[in-house]
Structure 1
């Protein structure tokens, strides 16, 4: 009896502490993504038949006055918007569907001009980016930002910084030509460039000095307890030189910081993906639903603001992933719409079908890869 009670308690804690935060995070990200498709599609005059959070059998739903079925489905790992006249992923604008009336053809997705179809598809990732900007804007407005001067208080012996000739008392001015204003700016520019020689400009005794340092990889624990590998050059700041302080922002300043933070995350994600493809990043840094669920549970224990930050990070990641030019992702659709706009005619259904088959295999292989990483790989 005691064992059964303990198992039930563990299951309850797992559901409340991990599954519910995971569903909260994923549902917000998916809802915003699909709402982007829905709102822009409606703005373009396209009819919407269904809006679903999740896949598979419907758990519950309702019809609105426009005839759209809003529903929650059994498998909560995504969602979709079904537009009027959706025939297949390779539907062409001149495709005929005898099941549609003349009125229905006017609002069918595949009969719309290419710009309307492209705008509707691009809106999903765009809304993901806007969600991230909104989250960070609110966070900066509420909590401000802790900063410190980009000063070198200590140089670790035999580190890349020591080999490059960086000295205590130096002030960072730029990294690879990018101006830095805080010590965290330096860390962010260096952390994703392990193994890359970096041109670093310093201010020493009033004069600019340029050195080259190659960050080395070190393992660290992030705020959620995950082991991450980042690049470092081996310099330390301190309170005396860094003058640690909290900066507060007004609404417009917070928005500017939110946009900048989102832009940095997008740049860092693109940089990571490029290095991963060339074998320069650890594949264990990639995770799927299991890892996201674990992170959501850990974030929930730290507080609601941590959970919302995870929403922002996941949202921008989903947005970038969907823009990859791989069918059946949004980027794959946009690739074909771009070709259609250039050629002034749709790509043949046969060619599109072959690309979609290959793209689907790539997507399934990637999903299998991250699941393997989650369960067995790392």
Structure 2
């Protein structure tokens, strides 16, 4: 219940911020161009709060926080007093109408840059792209635990998330990925992951896993939480011991302990278990006991600690001036990724399951808010940029569709006919309804048990 309420709250906050900035862009430029603004609404439906300023503009916060609008004086929407016709939107020069319509998405781009600048000032903390245990194609490509991925296909990466995105894009394009890694000893190597060999219809959210990769931060340390009385480990191991090796085989995570214990049991006889106990490193003798109910058929009588999340080991943080170009670079990368994903959706290289609606946005907002202010700022920046790109698409009913109409008007020297514009609005409405239907379908499908 707490997660549900948190998701709803953070979605309202996120959309409220983005919609307010978007509509303020339209509002501010319209006022500068001498257009009378009748209403500035954040949300749709029944007004919850209203206020009117000295210019006659009604400011509204409405019940449904899933959008907003700026309503301007326009002869196409009703009778306009002759004295006010000069302040009607439709009577303004075409370049002013273009500026007013473009101002909304532009405001979202500016907000994205400001949020990224603030994020880099705070410092975005994350886990490095250091590998845990590898298998499958990753092992065949000569990648090893402890390697840190520094570059994928010429794209520098710092964090596991950046590496995962780059690998996923390569897999969607059905091509192999060139990976540069830095080994634990400081050695640079190149490897090629044959992602083009992944089967058709692969799960795009699991590309690193399908490639045989795991991340170092996901590995739970093998710390003893409990020792069973009368078990082989009783009197040998103690709660708090960190297991470092079993029978000469190093242990990097708790998941490795049970298989190594089973292998020691099958070998027969005692073996040495190396542990870290406070400041001391100890080598202790241990003989597993056969137990059909235990994983692997052998047990020593210890339970591993659930562990806690490790500390972040990379942080992207800059001063006030250096954060400006960093924000611009990040916005450029996000734009390229977003446009690339749109292209892949259209060409069929990416699954339509990647399209999400309000539920997906709400869950992402809640998850980012839980991670801290840096990640919530990043989420807002990504959402703001996505809103700008969506609105720039030349789809009638969106800002980009209106811009298309006005560009055609500039070329032909006269506005499009009402018939053509109305037909375009119907087409745009159908496209938007289809996109929203797909997003809601994916949201609902994502909530069903699998």
TM range (shorter): 0.7 to 0.9
Query: Partner of 1:114 in structure 2?
Result: 94
Within the candidate set 36, 47, 51, 2:40 is matched to 51
Cα deviation, residue 35, structure 1:
0.7
Give the distance between the partners of 2:187 and 2:148, measured in 1 at CA. Answer: 10
How many aligned residue pairs are there? 343
- Larger Rg belongs to: 2
Query: Partner of 1:298 in structure 2?
Result: 367
Query: Partner of 1:87 in structure 2?
Result: 76
Cα deviation, residue 320, structure 1:
1.3
Structure 1 residues 43, 375: CA separation in 2 closer, same or farther (over 3 Å shift)?
same
Q: Normalising by the residue count of structure 1, what TM-score does the alignment of the two structures yield?
A: 0.76
Q: How does 1:1-378 map to 2 (within 5 A)?
A: 10=1, 13=2, 16-85=5-74, 87-88=76-77, 99-143=79-123, 156=134, 158-159=136-137, 178=154, 180=156, 182=158, 187-195=164-172, 196-197=174-175, 200=178, 213-214=194-195, 229=205, 231-232=207-208, 245-376=314-445
Q: Normalising by the residue count of structure 2, what TM-score does the alignment of the two structures yield?
A: 0.65
Cα deviation, residue 57, structure 1:
2.4
Give the distance between the partners of 1:305 and 1:154, measured in 2 at CA. Answer: 26
**Conservation of the 8 A alpha-carbon contact between 2:355 and 2:438:** no
Query: Partner of 2:264 in structure 1?
Result: none
Give the distance between the partners of 2:116 and 2:420, measured in 1 at CA. Answer: 42
Gaps of 5+ in 2: 218-312
Give the distance between the partners of 1:157 and 1:57, measured in 2 at CA. Answer: 57
Q: Which has the higher contact order (CA 8 A, sep 6+)?
A: 1
Give the distance between the partners of 2:44 and 2:125, measured in 1 at CA. Answer: 39
Query: For 1:52, what is the secondary structure of its paired residue?
Result: strand
Q: Deviations over 1:204-247 (max 9, x none)?
A: 999998968546779xxxxxxxx9616446678889xxxx6545
Structure 1 residues 342, 245: CA separation in 2 closer, same or farther (over 3 Å shift)?
same
Query: For 1:251, what is the secondary structure of its paired residue?
Result: coil
Q: Deviations over 1:22-41 (max 9, x none)?
A: 21111111111101111111
Give the distance between the partners of 1:340 and 1:123, measured in 2 at CA. Answer: 19
Give the distance between the partners of 1:215 and 1:269, measured in 2 at CA. Answer: 22
Larger helix proportion of the pair? 1
Give the distance between the partners of 1:180 and 1:328, measured in 2 at CA. Answer: 39
